[in-house]
Amino acid sequence: MDSSGFALHRDDVSEALTRGEEKIAALPGLQSRPVKAGTTLIRGGRGHDYVYRLQSGWAGRIRNLPDGRSQYILIFLPGDLFAVKSMFVSSHPDSVQVMADAVLEQIHYQELRQAFDQDGDVATRCIWQVIEEERRLHNWIVSLGRGTSEERLAFFLNETRTRLVRSGTIQPDAWSFELPMTQMQMGDYLGISTVHVNRTLKWLHEAGVATKRGRRVFIRDEKALAGLAYPLVDDHERAAAHLSLRT
């Protein structure tokens, strides 16, 4: 990954971010392994000893409530470094579940923490990941608090495609992609019921904006999708999606 993959970074940390990425990838304890969809990688309320990078597949951070309700908090896509907090906390407050068959790189937190303490480039890369997750969370808080169901879904589809392009998972001119989430999981992310998810997907389809068929999304009118998402995206996502600012 070159520095263009890091959102809103200062020019004077570009080289450190790129070097940090390369140094983490070269750590001797980094191991790659396949993980099946449905696997709970991290259990909320428990300690965990590893930090991960997603090479392929999807994963999600989820909060399970005592009464059976749940909320997906963040979706991890290829290229994401996650569970960085394993270096600092004795217990993860939330779970991480694998949502589609994945290949993960993992490293023990002690080895990464040693590199973090000894190498400023590694520290910069890890800190940036926490900042990026904060940015995404801020966007999603605004979406949940102020967005309509149509805007939330458009934001989710628009951002997901942008991130998949950025990671090299799909080509820049691709307007369809795998979305391995059930309508129940989508509802647990969007903050709406399964029935409401179905209704919103139907509305997008009938409006000629986007269609979800099985595990695949087809974006049929990228400008309309971007327009629906526009009120909820930040400046970085507007630029990444080639949106023009509105007055």
Residue 241: per-residue pLDDT: 55
Residue 7: per-residue pLDDT: 62
228 SS3 class: helix
Residue 29: per-residue pLDDT: 95
Q: What is the mean pLDDT of residues 195-214?
A: 97
CATH of domain 147-240: 1.10.10.10
Residue 27 CA from chain centroid, whole number: 24
Residue 242: per-residue pLDDT: 55
Residue 246: per-residue pLDDT: 42
- The Cα–Cα gap between 178 and 60 comes to 15
- Lowest-confidence range among 36-40, 70-74, 76-80, 163-167? 163-167
Q: What is the mean pLDDT of residues 19-41?
A: 96
- Lowest-confidence range among 6-15, 143-152, 218-227? 6-15
Sort residue 242 into left (φ over 0), alpha (ψ -120 to 50) or beta.
left
Domain boundaries, the chain: 3-140, 147-240
What tokens does 105 get?
A: 């790189």
pLDDT 10s digits, 72-117: 999 999 999 999 999 999 999 999 999 999 999 999 999 999 999 9
pLDDT 10s digits, 53-64: 999 999 999 999
pLDDT band at 243 (very low <50, low <70, confident <90, very high): very low
Q: Is 3-140 in CATH node 2.60.120.10? A: yes
